[in-house]
Structure 1
Amino acid sequence: MDPATDVPPYVARPLTLLPFRAVMLAPNRVGDPASARALARPYRDVAARLTSWIDQGRATADTSPAVYLHEYTSGGLTVRGLVGALGMSARATTLSERAVWPHEAIHPEQAGELADRMFQMDLNPAPILLVHHGDPGLRALIAGVSRTRPDWRYLDRTGQRQRIWAIRSADVLSRIEALLAGARCLLADGHHRYAAYLRLQQEHPGTAWDAGLAMLVDQDDTPLFLGAIHRTLPGTTLTELVVAARTAGAEVSLRERHHALGALDSTHLVLTDGHAWHTVTPHGLDRVAAVSWLHDEVLSRLPHRAERVEHHHNVDDALAATSAASPAVLLPSPDFDQVRALVESGGLLPEKATSFQPKPSLGVLMRPMTDA
């Protein structure tokens, strides 16, 4: 697939998270791969399938609309955020108006397929993930809610611990609305779903499609871990990568395996074919993300284009796919504030530049459009 180049429109401030009446899978089905498959083809049957599941006790529908505080714990990390229907109908025309900031481009055809799928399902099956530096007043409000008894609490099939509070008080919802009005959020996960939301809103204005399901996390409260996504490059050689990196002005040093892996940090990259190992020290990584430097300065200097770029969410997976015919580039973890500063100045990162973790299990909170 060719690199993503399309940038969807930007949602304008004020940022709004509207109440909705959630549908939730039963705890023993949240995160279950079989449930994920059941929320798939034929997509036009999903709405009826969910209704049947509610009748059978395999899912539940909340009694009335709410904005939800959702907290989940996975692998010792706890993430907490507000889940609501993100208003999508207002479009920003200037940088200062933008409420939601994507950090990478998308493939229009993929976004179109997702939009068609959601329309057939009549459902937002999972929230996109937004991250911001929250207002202290909003943080205090959320902390107060989290000290009360949750409406739902359970351990799901993946081992994630879920706690959910339904916020229905008109006064509290009004305070949340006021505290979110000026928020500027980084789109952490769900770029193609975000673009699909925008397409559905444009095609069906004045309907429930004017909003899309989103979870807003305060990086100053329960931060998500921001990890690197490593690359392997079939059809390229390690020698070609080393030459390209040196031509780009980086210092490249041959190292032993353990020394190279030990040097992987905010100022170094690692190149390897599984046998030889090189550390790469670019200049100016305080001003540009390592993944951007790789794509803009190194891959563009290869004597011929790589057959494809394969992505890996951890070092072990990348090394398992590494060979003389498919060398690896191991990248340092990006910095949240660096990414945010880049996008708020009008820039973008390459596709699959970041991995925000952990993500919530599928089926905790879904938004049916027939009762939104």
Structure 2
Amino acid sequence: MDAGTLVTPPYVAGPLRLEPFPALMLVPSRVGDPSTGRAFARPYKDVSARLLRWQGKGLLRRDDEPALYLHEYTAAGITVRGLVGALDVSRRATRPEDRAVLPHEGIHPAQADELADRMAEMSLNPAPILLVHHGSERLRDTLAAVAGRAPDHCFTDRSEQLHRIWAIRDAAVLEVIADELAGSRALIADGHHRYAAYLRLQRREAGAAGAPRATDLGLAMLIDQDATPLFLGPIHRTLTGTSLDDLRAAAQDLGLRFREQSQEQAVAALSTTHLAATDGRRWAVVTLDVGADEAAVEALHRRIVPALPHGPTTIGYHHSVDDALKRAKREDIAVLMPAPTVDLVIRVAEADRLLPEKATSFQPKPSLGVLIRSLRASPPVRT
């Protein structure tokens, strides 16, 4: 298989379960500090010892008892609240109706292998993957009641994110959470390769029946998109070796409307059914023929790009319009993309389709080091 090939990661079977775990937490002065990432760098086998030294210096604390954690963080004026726990990845879904976690992008197997190796050497899940779902009213009320009390931890980190954390250990509350999650499905918002690494670790170290292991679980943060939603932004493209005339030819071959307009008009036209493109001098709008359950990024990659008479030799990905426009020139065009809705991404995933690589940008993400999970101290999976 080509090392660059994208593949679909396996599906985790329901019920969706987040298990309590004893968290590791860096002190606030270390959270959001760019230098903190070096604590999780090579040699990975030394990371656990490194963190133990930090614990001895008072730079890392470890909870004595397992808990689920309600983690609220505020960044750039957006407040997100999610439930952090150890995601049960011990079962695989064989039927679409059994799936509990829905990926929407493919993964590079070699990258997933590398991440699995890294986690095994560190004996850590250093950061949670981000999942989104539509939570039940009962679950929202339960978590709102938790958030109504004083947090166990409250601090502003080095990157100016404000964090509030509540440890949930009350058996009755944990039971309500488990009941409400059991029938839910979650979409992976961020962390497809780490999710795939969890599954690879679980397969590598799967124990005998009735003997769960730490790798049967992987750290995850579950966010209710109806309560404190993540912002879903677009990722723009640059097509190297492709001209605006090439784009016109492809659009005409596909029966799509292509019209040159001013920059102001082209940007204003950007929508779920319209792309804006420029070579740095001229601007154009392409009207897409997309169905109700199709994203614009799918139409670009699966129909328009194959129809181009030249290129692209490479495709670049950009989170900002300015970055994309800086790379636009006569034979390298920038294509400004609309953001899909979360519900559209969910429908795509439920239909067993994957979006093209780097199709979504869920923001903001929590800083590294707020909640870490050790693979050396893990609760058993409930049966």
| TM-score, length of structure 2 as denominator length | 0.95
Q: Hey, what's the Cα distance between the residues in 1 that align with 2:22 and 2:329?
A: 50
Residue 160 of structure 2 aligns with an amino acid whose one-letter code is G
SS where residue 151 of structure 2 aligns?
A: coil
**Distance of 2:37 and 2:291 partners within structure 1:** 40
Residue in 2 that maps onto 1:29: 30
1:123 maps to amino acid? L
Count of residue pairs the alignment pairs up: 372
In the alignment, the residues of structure 2 paired with residue 328 and residue 3 of structure 1 have an alpha-carbon distance, to the nearest angstrom, of 23
- Which structure 2 residues correspond to residues 239-254 of structure 1 after superposition, within 5 A? 239-254=245-260
Shift of residue 29, structure 1, vs aligned partner: 1.1
C-alpha contact 2:3 2:109 (8 A) present in aligned 1: no
- Which of 4-13 and 47-56 deviates more? 4-13
Whole-angstrom CA distance in 2 between matches of 1:49 and 1:138: 38
After TM superposition, give the deviation of residue 285 of structure 1 in Å. Answer: 4.8
Deviation at 1:242, TM superposition (A): 2.2
**Is 1:332 aligned with 2:338?**
yes
1:341 alignment partner in structure 2: 347
Q: Which residue of 2 aligns with 1:212?
A: 218
The code of the aligned residue for 2:183 comes to G
For the pair 1:237 / 2:239, whether they are aligned, the reply is no
The one-letter code sitting in structure 1 at the alignment partner of 2:272 is S
Once the two structures are TM-superposed, the CA of residue 325 in structure 1 deviates from its matched residue by 3.0
Q: After superposition, give the CA deviation of every residue in 1:180-224 in whole Å (9 maximum; x if it has no partner).
A: 101111111100000000000000113100000000000110011
Please, which runs of 5 or more residues in structure 2 have no aligned partner? Answer: 207-211, 379-383
Do structure 1's residue 289 and structure 2's residue 290 form an aligned pair? no
Distance 1:74 1:212 in 2: 25
**Displacement of 1:249 after TM fit?**
2.2
Amino acid at match of 2:151: P
- 2:248 is paired with a residue whose SS is helix
The structural deviation recorded for 1:245 is 2.3
Distance 1:287 1:281 in 2: 17
CA distance in 2, matches of 1:245, 1:25: 52
After alignment, is 155-164 or 298-307 more displaced? 298-307
Q: Is the 8 A contact 1:228 1:353 kept in 2?
A: yes
1:307, distance to aligned residue in structure 2 (A): 1.7
1:301 is aligned to 307
**Counterpart residue identity of residue 46, structure 2:** D
- The one-letter code sitting in structure 2 at the alignment partner of 1:244 is A
**What is the CA-CA distance between 1:2 and the residue it aligns to?**
7.2
1:155 and 2:156 equivalent?
yes
Distance 1:324 1:57 in 2: 56
Tell me what 1:80 maps to.
81
Letter of the aligned partner of 2:342 in structure 1? F
CA displacement at 1:232 relative to structure 2: 0.6
Which amino acid in structure 1 is aligned with residue 367 of structure 2?
Answer: S
Give the TM-score taking structure 1 as reference length: 0.97
After superposition, give the CA deviation of every residue in 1:110-132 in whole Å (9 maximum; x if it has no partner).
10011001111110001001000
Determine the structure 1 residue equivalent to 2:138: 137
Please provide the CA RMSD for this pair. 1.3
Determine if contact 1:4/1:351 at 8 Å carries over to the other structure.
no
| Structure 1 partner of 2:63 | 62
Q: Is the contact made by 1:312 and 1:318 (CA closer than 8 Å) also made in structure 2?
A: yes
Q: 1:267, 1:285 within 8 Å by CA — same for their partners in 2? A: no
Tell me which residue corresponds to 2:17. 16
Residues in 2 aligned to 1:119 and 1:2: alpha-carbon distance in whole angstroms:
22
Given that 1:68 and 1:164 are in contact with CA atoms closer than 8 Å, whether structure 2 keeps it comes out as yes
1:176 equivalenced with 2:177 (yes/no): yes
Instruction: Give 1:329 deviation, angstroms.
Output: 0.9
Aligned to 1:146: 147
Instruction: Find the partner of 2:358 among 321, 330, 352.
Output: 352
Q: One-letter code of the match for 2:280?
A: G
- Mapped partners of 1:46, 1:248: distance in 2: 53
Q: CA deviation at 1:264?
A: 1.4
Aligned sequence identity (%): 55
SS of match in other structure, 1:327: strand
Post-superposition Cα deviations, 1:138-172, rounded to whole Å, max 9, x if no partner, equal 01101111111000000111111100000011111
Which is worse superposed, 243-252 or 91-100? Answer: 243-252
The residue that corresponds to 2:381 in the other structure is: none
| CA distance in structure 1 between the aligned counterparts of 2:3 and 2:316, rounded to whole angstroms | 12
Alpha-carbon contact 2:243-2:332 (below 8 Å) kept: yes
Task: Please give the residue correspondences for 1:34-45 in structure 2 after superposition, counting only pairs within 5 Å.
Answer: 34-45=35-46
CA-CA distance at 1:4 after TM superposition: 4.4
**Residues 86 and 212 in structure 1, CA contact (< 8 A), matched pair in contact too:** yes
TM-aligned CA deviation for residue 94 of structure 1 = 0.6
3-state SS of paired residue (2:196)? helix
Find the residue that maps to 1:28 and give its secondary structure: coil
Indicate the residue corresponding to 1:259 in structure 2: 265
Give the distance between the partners of 1:245 and 1:287, measured in 2 at CA: 21
User: What is the deviation of 1:3?
Assistant: 5.8
Q: Distance in 1 between matches of 2:96 and 2:55?
A: 44
Divergent runs of 4+, >3 A: 1-4
Aligned to 2:114: 113
Q: In 2, Cα distance between the equivalents of 1:287 and 1:196?
A: 29
Q: Deviations over 1:337-360 (max 9, x none)?
A: 111111111111111100011111
* Matches of 1:303 and 1:114, distance apart in 2: 38
Q: CA deviation at 1:248?
A: 2.1
Alpha-carbon displacement from aligned partner over 1:55-102 (angstroms, at most 9, x marks no partner): 111121112110000000111111001000000011100110000000
Cα deviation for residue 287 of structure 1 reads 3.4
Amino acid at match of 1:318: A
Match of 1:320 in 2: 326
Residues 287 and 250 of structure 1: is their aligned pair in 2 closer, same or farther, counting only changes over 3 Å? Answer: farther
Instruction: For residue 376 of structure 2, give the secondary structure of its aligned residue in structure 1.
Output: helix
